[in-house]
Chains A and B, each alone.
Chain A
């Protein structure tokens, strides 16, 4: 019971509040722009040569206002905004009118999600294992070599590293494709050639995400393990003559995992942003590219949709991690 009150409820409240604040910000910010999206669309359409008589034009403007959620006072818009959100309706793309934002996002999400999940999990596991070993054998030479290596790699943002990789492995030594998700003109099919093609295209962006991600986890895990090694209960276990292997797994690693899970939760936002930009470097057809195009064309609705979805997605992921944490740390479970 104390757990529910002391841990669960505060987390849930925070979750709801963060989403609320975040989405409100998503609502407010575009409305600060001086340009009127309705006018923009109409000007666009006009420049493409369409013409409407005044009556139909007014009706059209009304429809647009409604579509874009710009009807009524700001408060009414706000209410409508939330209503739509609950239905999962993010409105219609300004630029690729009249495609609904949902559709655009739906096509892009599987690419991003696939890349993100795979690289995050891989780099977390890889970094933690190697970092853990390095922390344990911190005086050994190999651990110091890897440490120096990660010292150089870690501070480099994903996309800069991605550029370097791009230059190196797609131009200088053209092993990998420069851009895209698959070869041009390929159809989606669940056969081996298609999958291999996807993998080939995904390799470089994934590589930069995994390399730098692992460097980060390596460094933090190494530090954590070194600290845990110095803890009283590890010393005591050694005094008790408990076998080395058991001390390493049950005393050191189990305790080292705790701050790592917390760090993962805190870094998700950053990892996500980094992944998006890396996608742009490689023209990988995920949310990143979608965002990029939206920025270039000034497609506010699309940006809002992506942002809103990202906020919900990331906070939910963090909530899930937060809820998993008590499984690992009994001090939180039985407060």
Chain B
């Protein structure tokens, strides 16, 4: 089965705001095409404000005003058939959640209901999808999962405010893996945690993926973590995917000028040369320039870059780049 577990086609999601009569449109997800395969960790990297979190919301089917789906499709592979999630009723979507696809939120500090014990939270998540006898079993699985992940069972009797940040993050990851979903989406799971805890969280994710053999979509701006966990990485800039390749390729042979800057800015062992980052700032998603969004900062910008959005060019089966410079170079190669 080589079909992608999750697929998007020209996905467009904008925020439409009306601030005292002026309409502002924030193009957070601007024609994104993704294909997530089974049994892989797919990383999405990019600066703050490039639209990563919005993309995740759109992938999860959690689009609520002022966020609007402006175009494109999202497909899940449920069982053997591909479902267009916009065709699903709210109840069908609700059923898919957690069982088929789950979510690890950014900043788990306040995502747990403060007035109930953790065991009730777990029971809520389980009970909303699994009913009757199997609930008792599922609860046992929950306890089992917790111990597998090195979390003490007695935290089930605790209230959220009694746990540390790192512990809460691990709890949300355990919750996400509870019903063995096919896809787990993680939104910056390591931000706001100290490095030691980060390592534990990353290891947890890797263990889960290995056990469940499912797909994990990992969004983080931390390239070090991407290098550690991801099989393939997509680089996002100003609402678009500018490059997508295997982790190795991204780090060893980045093609897009932005990716190059990104990789070059990472510190390396033994290399004491000053790191250089891309000049300027990323554009406001409400005021995107014409053509390629990166051209104001790109040292290789050509005329066409300022006028037209570059198409996505496949350098090889596993390497895609959206850049006129690369496209021209490849065209020059083929006679």
Which A positions have Cβ atoms within 8 angstroms of B?
A: 231-233, 235-243, 246, 250-251, 254-255, 258, 328-331, 334
Check A241/B95 contact, CB under 8 A, given A255-B115, A331-B161: yes
A235 nearest CB across to chain B (Å): 8
Residues of B close to A251: CB separation below 8 A: 113
Cβ-closest chain A residue relative to B185: A239
Asked whether B110 lies within 8 Å of A246 as measured between CB atoms, the reply is no
In angstroms, Cα B62 to Cα A241, docked, is 11
A98 nearest CB across to chain B (Å): 56
Residues of B close to A238: CB separation below 8 A: 62
Total inter-chain residue pairs, C-beta < 8 Å? 75
Interface SS, A side: helix
Asked whether A330 lies within 8 Å of B128 as measured between CB atoms, the reply is no
24 A–B contact pairs at CB < 8 A?
A232-B105, A232-B110, A233-B113, A235-B105, A235-B111, A236-B112, A239-B103, A240-B175, A241-B93, A241-B94, A241-B97, A241-B98, A241-B129, A242-B124, A242-B128, A246-B124, A250-B116, A254-B115, A258-B115, A330-B114, A330-B115, A330-B117, A331-B159, A334-B162
Asked whether B125 lies within 8 Å of A240 as measured between CB atoms, the reply is yes
- The A-contacting residues of B in range 236-295, CB under 8 angstroms, are none
B117 nearest CB across to chain A (Å): 8
Asked whether A255 lies within 8 Å of B113 as measured between CB atoms, the reply is yes
Residues of B close to A329: CB separation below 8 A: 115
- The A-contacting residues of B in range 111-142, CB under 8 angstroms, are 111-117, 120, 124-125, 128-129
Which B positions have Cβ atoms within 8 angstroms of A?
A: 60, 62, 93-99, 102-103, 105, 107, 109-117, 120, 124-125, 128-129, 159, 161-162, 175
Asked whether A255 lies within 8 Å of B124 as measured between CB atoms, the reply is no
In angstroms, Cα B100 to Cα A241, docked, is 11
Asked whether B128 lies within 8 Å of A246 as measured between CB atoms, the reply is yes
B188 nearest CB across to chain A (Å): 14
Residues of B close to A239: CB separation below 8 A: 60, 62, 97, 103, 105
In angstroms, Cα B116 to Cα A236, docked, is 15
Residues of A close to B115: CB separation below 8 A: 254-255, 258, 328-331
Asked whether A334 lies within 8 Å of B111 as measured between CB atoms, the reply is no
In angstroms, Cα B125 to Cα A258, docked, is 24
Check A331/B125 contact, CB under 8 A, given A239-B97, A241-B98: no
In angstroms, Cα B159 to Cα A291, docked, is 49
In angstroms, Cα B115 to Cα A258, docked, is 10
Residues of B close to A334: CB separation below 8 A: 159, 161-162
Residues of A close to B129: CB separation below 8 A: 241
In angstroms, Cα B303 to Cα A49, docked, is 113
In angstroms, Cα B93 to Cα A260, docked, is 34
Which of B62, B96, B112, B115 gathers the greatest number of chain A CB atoms within 10 Å? Answer: B115
Residues of A close to B117: CB separation below 8 A: 330
- Contact with A240, one of B93, B120, B128 (Cβ below 8 angstroms): B128
Residues of A close to B102: CB separation below 8 A: 240
In angstroms, Cα B161 to Cα A329, docked, is 11
Cβ-closest chain A residue relative to B114: A331
Residues of A close to B175: CB separation below 8 A: 240
A65 nearest CB across to chain B (Å): 58
Cβ-closest chain B residue relative to A254: B115
In angstroms, Cα B175 to Cα A239, docked, is 12
